[in-house]
Structure 1
């Protein structure tokens, strides 16, 4: 509801929030979630009075604004959200007549802006939840939907703050309100860290234990076929969980009703259960439940499911507790959307990485094996790669490299470098050092000198056997494992790629004894935050010593198990070649 900036009722509501030009952990968390979700440099929870705007929640503000936590209205875009009562979306503030000339453009670097109204219980606009970019930005509908959902949850928290301030006259009510506020603060932190559906469900259970003390907390989600899926059945007896694992959205249960109507379903006693949710009455009787409540989980286009609580006793919910459940459902809804986004991103990243990794060629008379393991952090993609190219005259080219970065951009750059180097290998019959110089020059000319390490090696037949020739651009030294278990690093290394033009590069050479193994690897295998690098290299050499007789696949699997484990911090690429025996 749009109001003048100096409307007395609106100013009174701002005072009753108890918020001002000081950091508040809850609203700082909102700003942090907006920044991470939308990928903007700055995010603010802004409250606007008749002379200034204050930022109880802020992320990314430059000094001195981060310390002041306020600006005059001459620097406020958010005042337009308040006076209009509507969302303000600005692609380029420098050319937008609504805000052109605002001092925030020059003093705070505000160019792209999206602000959603924050309202109190009467619908009065108190400020804005805003995302800010320092460059022009085309805001997508999906981004604005996510920002609107976060703003709705933030508004719930503001209303709870107002209710808390109003209740301060009653010590018991104030204490309860404080507990609820702390619950929401803990929820904002715990659910922002949850990256899987199981973590979301577990976090909700933990949060309400000791506060509302329900006997059971349920999370249910809707699918595209209008079916309700129970996600929290592991805390129910199997017979009960199986009964409600999947059922129609039209069923009259607390979860289905809340998800279908988008309204809270309050069941203070068994009479209310029998009247409103008769399909669940038998389960209530079987489990000894006396009351319950279910609130819809908000999504960008309507409810995505429901959050349900049940108690062993009668439990009428007051207005403040209903506000807590609504706010908690908002947090859970956002967490579930983020989980879905992360899962989709993982799927895309996994397909991208698989498409970029080479199938190993027929390398006879040599044996070849490779492994790629993503970092244990969810997004299965990075800049590490391996490659092998079979050439004429029994020659074999081997490559292992690592592009700086741990995201899909790094993987895309890796794909470009890998393709260029493959083309050079096939087209140019030159030593490894010359091809790495060509690759370095191409990176400079094409304007993408991303720091990259790589080893390029040739295996060539000679009169008495085979010889390995290699050039190393800042990469960890490969390791030679001889048939008798002797381990030695293949030293010799020059500057990494992408730093400067016309770098001197050298070739190094060594005969390959019969039955020997050459291991190429990326730094994720040996680098950790806690161990010395030299100690990790010695550990690798020790592992290899006992694997001289193992098959190459078993050798690589054992190396990964003993050095990388389940929680390695970086991507790992391995490539191993074994020469023929006597």
Structure 2
């Protein structure tokens, strides 16, 4: 790795040209507010680093006395590493990371989790860092780092505009010219700042197209904003919803050799500026009929940059002749960069979503034939995350009239947690099928297996057997490894907690585990669930448990799928913070 010197004279001159120091600047404070909100961190900083100190023209969440001073010596600087390496610095736990060992920010500023992205000027000098700080260990996700990188790019652009504006002010003799440059740069910086925020929130290509259309309303005011992507040598229109159906169908997919504004921008890798219909007829004749049909007179199409060349084009069309000035061209070029990043991120998220969905479907098998019992289950991933997690349910028909029921929870709600859950679920399922032993014995076997494999991931589970007794009754036997206690709903609405809980799985070999037994009356329902149903960051857990009991007591006799839907709706809703798995069994009625 090539290291840069903090005292490089040219870099220090570039810092001076920003005119920024240890005083708050509203524009850069706004950047830190956005970082703090989007990434949900307690502290965010715009840090500029010279050879003796770092200053914070943008700061949010920094405690006193540091917030008042807006600066620290380099002994308290993580951002200096971003400058010297000219690369992002991502730290999960600073207390154990050798790169920042001994840095006083750990003890004096409570910096534990840190992610910093370089801030650069037009000449490529790294002036500082846009950083997100957590006071606890933090595993930064790829999506979070992508958002922070997008915001750092917008922040760097604001720094460059500030430098350019200051230089323009020095060199301009005319007050009117200075005002024109300042206004143009301000408009550009505002559009790009809004773009960095709006596009950071997009998750689909349709979201990207809608965000761009809203961003340029009131500035460029095009009649149409189009997003097209390259797919196997063809151009695919991804904004057809904004066009009449026949026009959208005509351009849904066409050859990349066609002479249209989008195809030309992709093929040349350069902006295509068509100021009037004569220019359209000359350079993009394949699109001329559509322009006349839509009443468009001019267009501009800019390539969307990708790691190996253009991935598509961003196209604007106007109903009157339109010529872009230099500032507007710069806005479109920068906007295309943001759009390209947003689309690649959207494709990445879509791919992960698809993989996660397939993974979860493979983990959660169909419920078995359960006669004489009724059986229903539901799984809902956390509202945030990868739509897959470590919660699971399972049901296995052991013998006629006998079922094994499992609900478990591996810490985490991402694909790693899901993969780990799949291993444990498969092992426990094999034990249930192969070993006709009480639930406590099978959980001990899983304990031993986890210990032998070096697995210390916090995991909870309830394993229960439901058996038909001679004479027509039914009996439930269960063992609980640190999991929320199941509930028993009687046919008359009485709710009982099935108490009895041992330690979590995997901590020790041969952990003592206990079996518990309960007689199930006719028409009674056993509800097993994971903690995502009742645990939140803000609500009292005991009150949530009481709320679940109250909801459940009014659902006696309700069909099990409807019962689970109502329990989920009333307790979790669509914005729950953790995964939720539900499994319910009902005995035959009288």
TM range (shorter): 0.7 to 0.9
Q: Normalising by structure 1, what TM-score? A: 0.77
Does the 8 Å CA contact 1:160/1:323 hold for their aligned counterparts? no
Matches within 5 A, 1:140-539: 158-168=159-169, 170-223=178-231, 225-377=232-384, 379-392=386-399, 394-426=401-433, 428-440=435-447, 442-444=449-451, 446-464=453-471, 465-482=473-490, 484-498=491-505, 501=508, 505-527=513-535, 532-534=543-545, 536-539=547-550
C-alpha distance after superposition, 1:337-370 (max 9, x if no partner)? 1111111111111222222223433434333332
Moved more, 61-70 or 511-520: 61-70
Question: For the structure 1 residues 215 and 335, does the alpha-carbon distance in structure 2 shift closer, same or farther, using more than 3 Å as the test?
Answer: same
Does the 8 Å CA contact 2:216/2:222 hold for their aligned counterparts? yes
Cα distance in 2 between the residues matched to 1:525 and 1:480: 16
Structure 2 unaligned residues grouped into runs of 5+ = 91-97, 107-111, 133-144, 170-174
Does the 8 Å CA contact 1:53/1:73 hold for their aligned counterparts? no
Does the 8 Å CA contact 1:17/1:162 hold for their aligned counterparts? yes
Cα distance in 2 between the residues matched to 1:371 and 1:336: 33
Cα distance in 1 between the residues matched to 2:504 and 2:72: 46
Cα distance in 2 between the residues matched to 1:475 and 1:79: 47
Question: For the structure 1 residues 103 and 409, does the alpha-carbon distance in structure 2 shift closer, same or farther, using more than 3 Å as the test?
Answer: closer
SS of structure 1 residue aligned to 2:555:
helix
C-alpha distance after superposition, 1:297-325 (max 9, x if no partner)? 11111111111122233332222221111
Q: Which residue of 2 aligns with 1:95?
A: none
Does the 8 Å CA contact 2:150/2:200 hold for their aligned counterparts? no
Q: Normalising by structure 2, what TM-score? A: 0.76
Q: Shift in Å at residue 125 of structure 1?
A: 4.2
SS of structure 1 residue aligned to 2:207:
helix
Cα distance in 1 between the residues matched to 2:89 and 2:181: 42
Cα distance in 2 between the residues matched to 1:306 and 1:32: 32
Does the 8 Å CA contact 2:82/2:88 hold for their aligned counterparts? no
C-alpha distance after superposition, 1:525-545 (max 9, x if no partner)? 344556951453145314522
SS of structure 2 residue aligned to 1:544:
coil
> Cα RMSD between the aligned structures?
4.8
Q: Shift in Å at residue 147 of structure 1?
A: 11
Does the 8 Å CA contact 2:4/2:83 hold for their aligned counterparts? no
SS of structure 2 residue aligned to 1:545:
coil
Q: Shift in Å at residue 210 of structure 1?
A: 1.8
Q: Shift in Å at residue 256 of structure 1?
A: 1.5
Cα distance in 2 between the residues matched to 1:564 and 1:238: 40
SS of structure 1 residue aligned to 2:480:
strand
Cα distance in 2 between the residues matched to 1:16 and 1:267: 37
C-alpha distance after superposition, 1:70-126 (max 9, x if no partner)? 776999566667xxxxx87999xxxxxxxxx9999977899x999989452xx5645
Moved more, 45-54 or 274-283: 45-54
Does the 8 Å CA contact 1:118/1:127 hold for their aligned counterparts? yes
Q: Which residue of 2 aligns with 1:141?
A: none
Question: For the structure 1 residues 317 and 308, does the alpha-carbon distance in structure 2 shift closer, same or farther, using more than 3 Å as the test?
Answer: same
Cα distance in 2 between the residues matched to 1:455 and 1:447: 22
Cα distance in 2 between the residues matched to 1:456 and 1:463: 23
Cα distance in 1 between the residues matched to 2:502 and 2:102: 42
C-alpha distance after superposition, 1:372-407 (max 9, x if no partner)? 222344622111111123335754221111222111
Q: Shift in Å at residue 190 of structure 1?
A: 1.2
Question: For the structure 1 residues 491 and 3, does the alpha-carbon distance in structure 2 shift closer, same or farther, using more than 3 Å as the test?
Answer: closer
Cα distance in 2 between the residues matched to 1:18 and 1:296: 34
Moved more, 313-322 or 379-388: 313-322
C-alpha distance after superposition, 1:467-502 (max 9, x if no partner)? 1112233433323344x4434233303255159647
Moved more, 493-502 or 520-529: 493-502
Equivalent residue for 1:540, pick from 543, 547, 551: 551
Cα distance in 2 between the residues matched to 1:572 and 1:90: 34
Tell me how many residue pairs correspond in the alignment: 551
Does the 8 Å CA contact 2:147/2:200 hold for their aligned counterparts? no
SS of structure 1 residue aligned to 2:378:
strand
C-alpha distance after superposition, 1:545-577 (max 9, x if no partner)? 250xx3x44544555456555444432222222
Question: For the structure 1 residues 475 and 124, does the alpha-carbon distance in structure 2 shift closer, same or farther, using more than 3 Å as the test?
Answer: closer
Cα distance in 1 between the residues matched to 2:63 and 2:345: 27
C-alpha distance after superposition, 1:144-202 (max 9, x if no partner)? 99999998877655544433334455223312321221111111111111112222111
Question: For the structure 1 residues 388 and 126, does the alpha-carbon distance in structure 2 shift closer, same or farther, using more than 3 Å as the test?
Answer: closer
Does the 8 Å CA contact 1:30/1:57 hold for their aligned counterparts? no
Cα distance in 1 between the residues matched to 2:539 and 2:99: 49
